[in-house]
């Protein structure tokens, strides 16, 4: 072969090699599920964040699905009220806990205005409002590595926090949706190790509810069946048969159960065959306490932005922070036994009066004198919610992982309580489990 011919052929071969990687690249897909052969029907039980997002992903894949919701609205523990103040208030979830998550991406890409909650905090300590307290109570959030499985309250006592700190400790536990005597200091820390969304809290200029409602629920609203409590799930056959409270049946090839953990604990849904005992035990090891939000509207702003340590309510927060509006609304964020106590008072008026009395003691009677209106949102008495959000109860261990495990490749479990990567208790944690369930179904 002459040198020139060889060089020409070499150049041609080289150009060919240049093209081949491009062809190789074209064979690989950006889509995780390009070859999924699943063409059945998916039933999603519950139209909370996890269920809605699972439906949203299924719709984007062109897969047949129906969301069956027990209550008369979609959103689960997200809801809003627009006529209480001159800005909308979130009746359920209202803080975006960290911006570095799928919801941070959604907010960013949709141009949703959020702002970092930099509000100040004061303490109700020894019957006085104080901006500082003698001991660093928040240090208990970072326990030592060898801490045993004891409650927040017990650990706080071990750390020398006396009874004067009790309700400040309750406020910290309340952030995790629990009473301090139930929340595990060990497992709470273990589960939070995986937290990776960022430590700052953000508030929505409009509402958290709107972010999900306008961008997710709106896209799939035609596939949501409201006012349909499912009471029985029979997964013994090839297809799953579900029955509602009126005896009407629904069938699906795969079912994603996204109801709150309390619904599973209380056996409001009867599974046939019965769920494995290990799963039932796992459900019961996950905590979910009472939760209530009371919005108090005043004619003047006499209160601080955050008040921790109340005996009736351990956490108050100024609702106008991050909002465009001027109405003075103070949120009483009541968790655990404090919420149970307020619920036991029996009426919204009694609840409001109890809170006003506490605020009066803190601010020399200014609460009652400037009180205008109140809205009580008691999540514990809602029959399809029954509480606030899940927490790491003493003894929880790996219960979430057992609870979240699919059964027979037909039943899949989602919802904030089923989040295994540190994002339980949050809306983005619920959403992650929603798309996790869909990926598990479609990659089978």
Partner 1 sequence: MKTLITVVFLVFASSSYSQELRIGVGYSNLYSKQYDRLIQTYNVSRPFLQEKQPLLNTGIHSSLSYLFKSEKNLRSGIAIDYSLVNSKAENQNLDLTLSFNMFELGYLLQYNNEDKFGHFYSEFGIGAVLGILNKKQDNEAYLIDDKVIRSLQIGAAVSLNIGYVFELKDKLKVSPFIGFQYAPYFSEGQSERVINQTINLIDEEEQYSSFFKFDLGLRVYLPRKKREKKL
Which parts of this chain interact with partner 1 (CB under 8 A)?
A: 7, 10, 14, 17-18, 21-22, 24-25, 28-33, 56-57, 59-60, 98, 100-102, 104-106, 108-111, 194, 196-200, 215, 420-423, 432, 435-436, 438-440
The DSSP result for 84-124, as a single string, is: SSSS-EESS--EEE-SSSHHHHHHHHTT--EEE-----EEE
User: Based on CB atoms, which residue is closest to partner 1, 365 or 422?
Assistant: 422
User: How far apart are CB 442 and partner 1 at their closest, in Å?
Assistant: 8
Closest to 356 (Cα-Cα) out of 306, 319, 302, 305: 302
User: Based on CB atoms, which residue is closest to partner 1, 20 or 163?
Assistant: 20
Residue 335: CB atoms within 10 Å: 29
User: Based on CB atoms, which residue is closest to partner 1, 60 or 278?
Assistant: 60
To 10 degrees, the CA torsion angle through 344, 347, 353, 356? 80
User: How far apart are CB 205 and partner 1 at their closest, in Å?
Assistant: 15
Report the DSSP pairing between strands 64-68 and 41-45.
parallel
User: How far apart are CB 92 and partner 1 at their closest, in Å?
Assistant: 22
Strand partners, 203: 95, 115
Residue 427: CB atoms within 10 Å: 30
User: How far apart are CB 176 and partner 1 at their closest, in Å?
Assistant: 19
Closest to 424 (Cα-Cα) out of 125, 16, 49: 49
Residue whose structure tokens are 């219960």: 399
User: How far apart are CB 93 and partner 1 at their closest, in Å?
Assistant: 18
* Cis, peptide link before residue 182, omega less than 30° from 0: no
Residue whose structure tokens are 């479990």: 413
Residue whose structure tokens are 């303490």: 123
Closest to 119 (Cα-Cα) out of 201, 27, 60: 201
User: Based on CB atoms, which residue is closest to partner 1, 27 or 246?
Assistant: 27
User: Based on CB atoms, which residue is closest to partner 1, 175 or 358?
Assistant: 175
User: Based on CB atoms, which residue is closest to partner 1, 203 or 428?
Assistant: 428
User: Based on CB atoms, which residue is closest to partner 1, 109 or 144?
Assistant: 109
The DSSP result for 265-279, as a single string, is: HTT-SEEESPPPHHH
User: Based on CB atoms, which residue is closest to partner 1, 29 or 127?
Assistant: 29
Strand partners, 53: none
User: How far apart are CB 24 and partner 1 at their closest, in Å?
Assistant: 6
User: How far apart are CB 152 and partner 1 at their closest, in Å?
Assistant: 24
User: Based on CB atoms, which residue is closest to partner 1, 32 or 324?
Assistant: 32
User: Based on CB atoms, which residue is closest to partner 1, 269 or 282?
Assistant: 282
User: Based on CB atoms, which residue is closest to partner 1, 64 or 157?
Assistant: 64
User: How far apart are CB 65 and partner 1 at their closest, in Å?
Assistant: 14
User: How far apart are CB 178 and partner 1 at their closest, in Å?
Assistant: 23
Closest to 190 (Cα-Cα) out of 206, 200, 176: 176
User: How far apart are CB 342 and partner 1 at their closest, in Å?
Assistant: 35
User: How far apart are CB 297 and partner 1 at their closest, in Å?
Assistant: 34
- Here the tokens at position 368 are 């009652």
Report the C-alpha gap between 256 and 254 in whole angstroms: 7
The DSSP result for 310-378, as a single string, is: -SS-SEEEETTTTSS---EEEEEEEEHHHHHHHHHT-SHHHHHHHHHHHHHHHTTTHHHHHEEEEEEEE
């Amino acid at each position: 072969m002459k040198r020139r011919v060889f060089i020409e052929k070499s150049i041609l071969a080289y150009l060919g090699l240049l093209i081949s990687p491009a062809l190789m690249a074209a064979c690989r897909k950006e889509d995780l599920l390009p070859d999924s052969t699943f063409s059945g029907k998916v039933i999603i039980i519950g139209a909370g964040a996890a269920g809605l997002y699972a439906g949203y992903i299924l719709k984007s894949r062109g897969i047949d699905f129906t969301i069956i919701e027990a209550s008369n609205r979609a959103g689960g523990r997200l809801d809003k009220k627009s006529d209480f103040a001159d800005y909308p208030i979130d009746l359920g979830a209202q803080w975006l806990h960290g911006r570095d998550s799928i919801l941070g991406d959604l907010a960013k890409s949709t141009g949703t205005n959020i702002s970092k909650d930099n509000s100040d905090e004061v303490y109700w300590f020894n019957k006085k409002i104080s901006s500082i307290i003698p001991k660093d109570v928040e240090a208990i959030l970072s326990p030592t590595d060898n801490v045993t499985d004891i409650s927040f309250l017990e650990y706080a006592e071990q750390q020398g926090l006396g009874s004067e700190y009790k309700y400040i400790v309750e406020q910290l536990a309340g952030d995790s949706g629990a009473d301090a005597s139930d929340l595990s200091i060990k497992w709470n820390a273990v589960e939070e190790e995986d937290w990776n969304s960022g430590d700052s809290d953000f508030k929505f200029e409009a509402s958290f509810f709107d972010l999900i409602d306008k961008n997710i629920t709106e896209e799939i609203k035609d596939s949501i069946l409201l006012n349909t409590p499912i009471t029985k799930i029979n997964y013994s056959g090839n297809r799953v048969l579900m029955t509602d409270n009126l005896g009407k049946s629904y069938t699906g090839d795969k079912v994603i159960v996204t109801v709150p953990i309390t619904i599973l604990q209380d056996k409001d849904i009867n599974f046939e065959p019965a769920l494995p005992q290990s799963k039932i035990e796992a459900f019961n090891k996950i905590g979910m306490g009472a939760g209530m939000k009371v919005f108090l509207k005043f004619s003047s702003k006499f209160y601080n932005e955050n008040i921790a340590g109340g005996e009736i309510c351990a956490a108050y927060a100024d609702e106008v922070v991050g909002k465009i509006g001027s109405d003075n609304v103070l949120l009483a964020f009541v968790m655990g036994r404090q919420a149970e106590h307020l619920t036991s008072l029996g009426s919204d008026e009694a609840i409001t009066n109890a809170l006003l009395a506490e605020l009066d003691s803190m601010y020399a009677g200014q609460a009652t004198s400037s009180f205008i209106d109140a809205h009580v949102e008691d999540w514990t008495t809602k029959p399809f919610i029954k509480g606030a959000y899940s927490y790491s109860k003493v003894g929880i261990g790996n219960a979430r992982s057992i609870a979240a495990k699919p059964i027979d490749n037909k039943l899949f479990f989602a919802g904030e309580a089923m989040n295994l990567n540190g994002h339980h208790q949050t809306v983005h944690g619920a959403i992650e489990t929603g798309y996790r369930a869909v990926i598990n179904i479609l990659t089978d």
